[in-house]
């Protein structure tokens, strides 16, 4: 389920690869992305989930299966 915190069109293949490479919880993904790309979402768990969903879809993967969950 997306929460509309991420515009999938803004996720580049490079960003998707960075998001996928992290073995983080959704909250930690959100914080790392906020630190790296200057997002105002901080460690918001819904933002982290949306980032993972957008990145997984761009990479042709299921965001709710390994290695994503």
pTM (predicted TM-score):
0.89
Q: Give the whole-angstrom CA distance, residue 46 versus residue 5.
A: 8
| CA-based R_g, the chain, Å | 10
Q: What is the band of 66 on the pLDDT scale with cuts at 50, 70, 90? A: confident
Q: CA geometry: angle at 22 spanning 21 and 23, to 5°?
A: 115
Kindly tell me if the per-residue pLDDT of 2 is higher than 80. no
Give the model confidence (pLDDT) of 5-57 as tens digits: 999 999 999 999 999 987 889 999 999 999 999 989 999 999 999 999 999 99
- pLDDT of 1 > 70? The answer is no
Of 31, 60, 61, whose CA–CA distance to 44 is shortest? 31
């Amino acid at each position: 389920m997306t929460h509309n915190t991420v515009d999938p069109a803004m996720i580049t293949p490079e960003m998707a690869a960075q998001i996928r490479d992290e073995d983080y919880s959704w909250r930690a993904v959100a914080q790392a992305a906020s630190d790296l790309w200057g997002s105002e979402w901080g460690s918001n768990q819904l933002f982290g989930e949306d980032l993972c969903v957008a990145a997984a879809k761009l990479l042709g993967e299921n965001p709710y299966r390994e290695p994503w969950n």
